[in-house]
């Protein structure tokens, strides 16, 4: 019986069979023999790892065929293209394999993964994503997304190999694993961020809401991955140490959106506050909604104990101002808070601040680099 070198990279490059699929393959080989030859590159086994294991186990003969490759990357790319012909791959497995092909092709042409065009030797421009999209029957944008997914899995394989492998094995969805990983990252960072000293009369919060509510389709839930920061589920936001920061008599200004109004109520209660009023931010530009075209967010005003405003002036309940960067809130709202509650040194904190704050404000959370 011939033995060949089984390279870990080539073996791991091939999505494994399920237990049922492996058992069926073993049954077929025992009944009919190993019909397809194992593919070798020199003494390196490139394709046919499962057949090799079964034949070796039972002492069955098998044929081999040599295939020539110019490089290791070319051999790996051939195995990827070959695997995409399998029917049993999950959509995520197909996506990652296409992404690996895209990234290798870009690299071979001297371009970094993620760039859209490469310059070939004849000085012509060729859109690699378009070519691979045509080859695999998907849009070029899908190929570019696939490349980013493959890069994400490669990074995850270093920091959390079990999670990466669960996606490569087809046992877990890519979106699910990435979200779980981001939640862990959030908590690890928050644990290491010291809670601001003292009790605070004013708390201003813009939590990193996770928007995959029951109202959202699976496609919409996938947009969570496009967030500019790690998001958190409702129970995790509820568990934040806000009660430790808040004075007995305090006011909370909490940002939320229409789909999350009910969840915001849970957060308010968990943090020990009672809802009082709201301010609506009309962002001018529309976003796609479920029943209406959405162009606003809510700033909920909540209190605990007795915390009346310092000013008799009533702020307008609707602020019209065009949105700018992702999730960034205009400074006018912080200024409105300062007018309602006159600043006293050390009495106010902003949670998950996404910009530099005035000196009389403290910041807590992992959104601001200075936190």
Q: Is the four-CA dihedral 174, 180, 181, 182 of positive or negative sign?
A: positive
Reported as a pLDDT band with limits 50, 70 and 90, residue 365 is confident
**Residue 177 placed within a domain:** no
- For range 173-190, the mean pLDDT: 75
For the cut 50, the answer to whether the pLDDT of residue 350 exceeds it is yes
Structural domain contains residue 225: yes
The DSSP code sequence of 153-199 is: HHHHHHH-HHHHHHHHTTSS-HHHHHHHHHHHHHHHHHHTSPPPSS-
Mean pLDDT for the chain? 84
Count of domains for the chain: 2
Instruction: Indicate whether 132 and 235 sit together in one domain.
Output: no
Work out the average pLDDT over 31-51: 92
Residue 107: its pLDDT value, please? 78
pLDDT mean over 6-32 = 90
pLDDT at 24 over 90: yes
Q: Are 245 and 155 within one domain?
A: no
Task: Clarify whether residues 224 and 351 are in a common domain.
Answer: yes
Q: Please give the Cα distance from 169 to 299 (Å, whole number).
A: 43
Q: Is the pLDDT of residue 220 over 60?
A: no
For residue range 234-248, what is the model confidence (pLDDT) as tens digits?
Answer: 988 998 999 999 999
Residues 204, 323 within the same domain: yes
Structure tokens at 206: 């813009």
Same domain, 145 and 191: no
Same-domain status, 336 and 220 = yes
- pLDDT over 80 at 193, yes or no: no
72 and 143 together in one domain:
yes
Query: Is 105 among the domain residues?
Result: yes
pLDDT band (50, 70, 90) for residue 57: very high
Domain end, chosen from 172, 196, 231, is at 172
For 19, the enclosing helix (H) or strand (E) is helix 19-32
Contacts of 229 (CB under 8 A, 6+ apart): 208, 327, 366, 367
- For residue 322, give the CATH number of its domain: 3.40.50.150
In a domain? residue 232: yes
Q: In the predicted model, what is the mean pLDDT of residues 187-214?
A: 79
What pLDDT sits at residue 196?
86
pLDDT at 118: 39
2 within a domain of the structure (yes/no): no
Residues 93-129: tens digit of each pLDDT: 999 999 999 998 887 766 554 444 433 333 233 578 8
Same domain, 147 and 272: no
Residue with more model confidence, 211 or 216: 211
Q: Check: pTM over 0.85? Answer yes or no.
A: no
Q: Are 129 and 226 within one domain?
A: no
Question: Residue 341's pLDDT is what?
Answer: 97
Which pLDDT score is estimated for 123?
29
- What is the arithmetic mean of pLDDT over 169-192? 76
Q: Which domain holds residue 76?
A: 8-172
Q: Which of 172, 202, 218 is the last residue of a domain?
A: 172
For 321, residues 6+ apart whose C-beta sits below 8 A from its C-beta are 281, 282, 283, 284, 330, 332
User: Are 257 and 125 in a shared domain?
Assistant: no
On whether residue 196 sits in a domain, the answer given is yes
Highest mean pLDDT among 67-71, 109-113, 191-195: 67-71
Residues 319 and 215 in one domain: yes
- What number of CA atoms fall less than 13 Å from residue 278's CA on the CB side? 17
Inside any domain, residue 219: yes
Residues 34-51 have a mean pLDDT of 92
Query: Are 16 and 139 in the same domain?
Result: yes
Among the candidates 143, 172, 201, a domain finishes at: 172
Give pLDDT tens digits for 131-171.
Answer: 888 989 999 899 999 999 999 998 888 888 898 889 988 88
- Does residue 29 have a pLDDT over 70? yes
| Measured distance CA(366)–CA(186) in Å, rounded | 7
For residue 353, tell me if it sits in a domain.
Answer: yes
Q: Give per-residue pLDDT as tens, 262-280.
A: 999 999 999 999 999 999 9
Paired with 265 in beta bridges are none
């Amino acid at each position: 019986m011939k033995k060949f070198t089984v390279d870990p990279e080539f073996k791991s490059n091939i999505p494994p069979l399920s237990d049922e699929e492996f058992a069926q393959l073993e049954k077929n080989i025992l009944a009919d023999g190993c019909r397809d030859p194992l593919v070798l590159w020199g003494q390196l086994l490139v394709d046919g790892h499962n057949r090799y294991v079964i034949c070796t186990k039972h002492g069955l003969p098998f044929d081999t065929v040599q295939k020539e490759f110019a490089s290791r990357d070319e051999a790996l790319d051939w195995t990827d293209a070959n695997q995409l012909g399998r029917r049993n791959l999950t959509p995520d497995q197909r996506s990652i394999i296409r992404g690996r092909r895209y990234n290798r092709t870009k690299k071979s042409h001297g371009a970094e993964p993620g760039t859209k065009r490469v310059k070939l030797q004849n000085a012509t421009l060729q859109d690699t994503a378009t070519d691979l999209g045509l080859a695999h029957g998907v849009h070029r944008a899908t190929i570019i997304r696939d490349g980013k997914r493959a890069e994400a899995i490669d990074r995850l394989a270093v920091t959390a190999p079990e999670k990466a492998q669960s996606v490569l094995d087809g046992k877990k969805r890519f979106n699910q694993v990435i979200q779980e990983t981001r939640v862990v990252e959030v908590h690890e960072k928050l644990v290491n961020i010291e809670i601001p000293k003292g009790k605070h009369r004013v708390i201003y919060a813009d939590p990193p809401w996770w928007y995959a509510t029951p109202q959202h389709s699976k496609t919409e839930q996938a947009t969570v991955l496009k967030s500019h920061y790690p998001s958190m589920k409702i129970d995790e936001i509820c568990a934040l140490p806000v009660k430790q920061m808040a004075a007995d008599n305090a006011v909370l200004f909490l940002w939320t959106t229409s789909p999350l109004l009910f969840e915001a109520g849970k957060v308010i209660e968990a943090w020990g506050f009672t809802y009082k009023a709201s301010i609506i931010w009309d962002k001018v530009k529309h976003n796609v909604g479920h029943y209406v075209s959405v162009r606003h967010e809510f700033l909920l005003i909540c209190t605990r104990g007795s915390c009346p405003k310092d000013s008799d002036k009533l702020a307008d309940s609707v602020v019209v101002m065009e949105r700018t960067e992702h999730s960034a809130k205009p400074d006018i709202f912080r200024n409105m808070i300062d007018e309602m509650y006159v600043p006293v040194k050390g009495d106010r904190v902003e949670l998950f601040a996404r910009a530099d704050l005035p000196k009389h404000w403290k910041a807590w959370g992992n959104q601001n680099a200075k936190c």
